[in-house]
Amino acid sequence: MFGPVTEIRDLQRRAKFRVPKMFYDYADSGAWTQSTYLDNSDAFGRIKIRQRVARNIDERSVKTQMIGRDVAMPVALAPVGLTGMQHPDGEIAAARAAEKFGVPFTLSTMSICSIEAVAEATTKPFWFQLYVMRDRGFVEDLIARAKAAGCEALVLTLDLQVLGQRHKDIKNGLSAPPKPTLKAMADLALRPQWCLGMLGTKNRTFGNIVGHAPGVTNMTSLSEWTHSQFDPTLDWDSIEWIKSKWDGKLILKGINDVEDAEIAAKIGADAMVVSNHGGRQLDGAAASIDMLAPIVDAVGDAIEIHFDSGIRSGQDVFKAIALGAKSTFVGRAYIYGLGAMGEAGVAKALEIIHKELDITMGLAGETDIRKVGRHNLLETPRPWPHNV
């Protein structure tokens, strides 16, 4: 029915077919008009790679490091809430695919499988993404659980103090697990494989929260929880507090402005992720790839810079590296693979990106991803004016 999988878009089409609509839509959407969501990908199209010929490109390597860890390519799996609703035990499937491939997996605070469940099902340390809640006791507890599970890095997300609105989530009545409405039941009836898988696991709601946050024994509404619990007072002082509780590697995620990058670089974190949350938060914000070069120019000597938002191919990864990112994260690219084919689909997404990155690098005349830079682009995008 679908033909061979040759690109991420093929995985997306399959995911749309296999995943219940409310969860597929949850992934494939941006805030409000979706202008930033769509521009994240469009902006990559505006960047052109220099095509070089007659260079010996026989021995190529896309291996590099992220915060001192060896990685098979400059790609990590981004934290994605409700991953376990795209596919039964989705976080475990994705973490296993990542560990086999040799790239980091980041578990979201809003995951379905808990920190402990993922730790038990994997053999290598993963990264844990933290949302800061008003209840600082609960935050401390989450940090302690991540430490106890042997997590290698804490990825602190800064761009979700309040939740950006995605129309589809409201219209679909997004909840985990789905509420038994007529609409939801009709949708599930068309996805028997998904339903069977869900019947076979006990991981069906927010594993890090339900039964751990004081008083939360049952929680179906993500937006209800975020509205009441996410901390809008989170500021740079709170980040110092988190640093004092977490003595391991720290990555600050969600920087999309030069001035914020300059402040973040002074915090003493190990890396920052230039990101606009995949266009899910501030609709109308700049595409993150347009902000990457100015941020690298401002603070690239002071802190390791990672990038996400809009990556759908190895060519996109190459462009981000050429603009100065040390590495990247992918969100939807692997989530579509997961929804399409579980662990094998995540592995497929990683294989596709790896192959595209390797061939792109070769055709650009390079053999070592660590030596790719602005010289590989036709022209450096104009510096973005900041403070205007």
Ligand X SMILES: Cc1cc2nc3c(=O)[nH]c(=O)nc-3n(C[C@H](O)[C@H](O)[C@H](O)COP(=O)(O)O)c2cc1C
- Identify whether 87 is a catalytic site residue: no
Catalytic residue among 277, 306, 354, 375: 277
Identify residues 56-95 at the interface with ligand X (CB under 6 A): 78-81
User: Is 331 annotated as belonging to a binding site?
Assistant: yes
The smaller minimum CB distance to ligand X, of residues 273 and 369, is found at: 273
Beta strand spans in 41-188 (E): 64-66, 69-71, 75-77, 106-107, 127-130, 153-157
Q: Which amino acid is at 323?
A: L
Q: 108 a known binding residue?
A: yes
The residue (of 98 and 311) whose beta carbon lies closer to ligand X is: 311
Phi, psi of 344 (to 5 degrees): -65, -30
Q: Are strands 106-107 and 304-307 parallel, antiparallel or unpaired?
A: unpaired
Site for ligand X in 139-198 (CB under 6 A): 157
Question: Please, what is the minimum distance in Å from the beta carbon of residue 207 to ligand X?
Answer: 13
Of 161-169, 180-188, 330-338, 367-375, the segment contacting ligand X by CB under 6 A is 330-338
Q: Is 110 in the site for ligand X (CB under 6 A)?
A: yes
For residues 323 and 212, give the distance between their C-alpha atoms in angstroms, rounded to a whole number.
42
Residue 332 annotated as binding site:
yes
Nearest to ligand X of 275, 376 (CB atom): 275
Among the listed residues 359, 289, 293, 367, the one whose alpha carbon sits nearest the alpha carbon of residue 329: 289
Residue with smallest beta-carbon separation from ligand X: 331
131 is in an annotated binding site: yes
Burial class for 93, CB neighbours closer than 10 Å (0-12, 13-18, 19+): buried
Convert residues 15-54 into a mask of x (bound to ligand X by CB under 6 A) and - (unbound): -----------xx------------x--------------
Residues 272-311 that bind ligand X (CB under 6 A): 275, 277-278, 280, 308-311
Which letter does DSSP use for residue 385 in this model?
Answer: P
- Decide whether 330 or 366 has the Cβ nearer to ligand X: 330
Instruction: Using alpha carbons, select from 236, 229, 239 the residue that is nearest to residue 155.
Output: 239
Taking the least distance from each CB to ligand X, the nearer of 157 and 205 is 157
Q: Which letter does DSSP use for residue 102 in this model?
A: T
Stretch of 95-103, 298-306, 324-332, 361-369 contacting ligand X, by CB under 6 A: 324-332
Q: Which of residues 234-263 bind ligand X (CB under 6 A)?
A: 253
Q: Is 157 annotated as a binding residue?
A: yes
96 is annotated as contributing to ligand binding: no
Size of residue set near ligand X by CB under 6 A? 24
Distances in Å between the alpha carbon of 22 and those of 83, 183, 187? 13, 10, 9
- Distance CA(31)–CA(170), nearest Å, equals 12
Among 330, 350, 357, 369, the residue binding ligand X under the rule CB under 6 A is 330
Question: Amino acid identity of 95?
Answer: A
Going by the annotation, the residues of the binding site are 26, 79-81, 108, 129, 131, 157, 166, 253, 275, 277, 280, 308-312, 331-332
Instruction: Point out which residues bind ligand X (CB under 6 A).
Output: 26-27, 40, 78-81, 108, 110, 129, 157, 253, 275, 277-278, 280, 308-311, 330-333
Active site residues: 277
Going by the annotation, the residues of the binding site for glyoxylate are 26, 131, 166, 277, 280
